[in-house]
Amino acid sequence: EVKLVESGGGLVQPGGPLTLSCAASGFTFSSYEMNWVRQAPGKGLEWVSYISGSGSTIYYADSVKGRFTISRDNAKNSLYLQMSSLRAEDTAVYYCATKKGNSWYYYWGQGTLVTVSS
């Protein structure tokens, strides 16, 4: 059974850092490209960042470029999102989601809530 389990969310002050993790199981993690997708409270879905299976190709949404860093550890079947200089508008549930070839977002985690507030 495929499982994606996010962790690391919580309350953080504006300007502060936070690191999210996504633990994968039930599939060959290194064969899948991975994404972070977020959803602000009561709002729609927004792609945040992408990383290839090897980690060699990375993309970010303009809204987070220069502040967020995506990475993965295929030996640990884990995906990460290091977030810095957090803003109120980064408040959202953050999901990790898979991509394989042209198949986007078939598997999703349950999400982890990040709240940026003083």
Partner 1 sequence: VVMTQSPLSLPVTLGQPASISCRSSQSLVYSDGNTFLYWFQQRPGQSPRRLIYEVSNRDSGVPDRFSGSGSGTDFTLKISRVEAEDVGVYYCMEATHWPPTFGQGTKVEIK
104 binds partner 1 (CB under 8 A): yes
Query: One symbol per residue from 51 to 70: x for binding partner 1 (CB under 8 A), - otherwise; what is it?
Result: --------x-x---------
2 binds partner 1 (CB under 8 A): no
Q: Which two tokens stand for residue 53?
A: 């299976």
Among 41, 56, 75, 102, binds partner 1 (CB under 8 A): 102
> Which residue type occupies 86?
L
94 binds partner 1 (CB under 8 A): no
27 binds partner 1 (CB under 8 A): no
- Cα separation, 51 vs 58, in Å, equals 5
Among 84, 108, 113, 115, binds partner 1 (CB under 8 A): 108
| DSSP string for residues in 37-93 | EEE-TTS-EEEEEEE-SSS--EEE-TTTTTTEEEEEETTTTEEEEEE-S--GGG-EE
CA-nearest of 36, 95, 106, 30 to 70 is 36
Specify the stretch interacting with partner 1 by CB under 8 A; choose among 11-19, 24-32, 71-79, 97-105: 97-105
Tell me which residues touch partner 1 (CB under 8 A).
44-47, 59, 61, 95, 102-106, 108-111
